[in-house]
Structure 1
Amino acid sequence: MADYITKVLEYKTYPEQAYKSCAGILSFARRVGAKRLINACRWADSYGLYNYPAIEKILNNRQDELPLPEDDAALQDMPQHENIRGKEYFN
């Protein structure tokens, strides 16, 4: 979670906004628990969102309780079989 807070501080233009955003994010730990907050930070980091509303939305939707999507699954190649046309078909 420290890495996420560091990124929030880096992405905000004004330090005062960053401090308030970080304080708000850390206050979620009292309401939802540290485990849920850590998972929410992981989700937000995977989307590249570094702000209070992103964490709030993830926690309200209980998205933090879902497993993080695997990046490798999106990068896998299509299976090869006779019904798949290759690039040669379209030339």
Structure 2
Amino acid sequence: MILAAITLCALALGVLTPVRWGVWGFVGAAAVLFLAQALTNTAMGFEGIPISESLLLFNDSYLSYVGFNLQITYRAFALPLLALATPFIFRLARSRT
């Protein structure tokens, strides 16, 4: 569900990001989407259990818990990145010709 929501947001950002921002706009939009997905994954807890119980699985280490969620987000970010890149690159190519 989170992946679908982030992918729809990525598609909207790909359509709405101004073309004049170019590569930096694309990189910024991708970074914002990645952070939003990572924060959402971290806030929801491991497999839907509360964060206090999730930390027990990681020896009460916030750093390990956040690192795990960043790794999960990194692995699941291909679809939102594709949804962001497709309309943005199409629009960028049309504006340059």
Greater share of residues in helix = 2
* TM value normalised by structure 2: 0.28
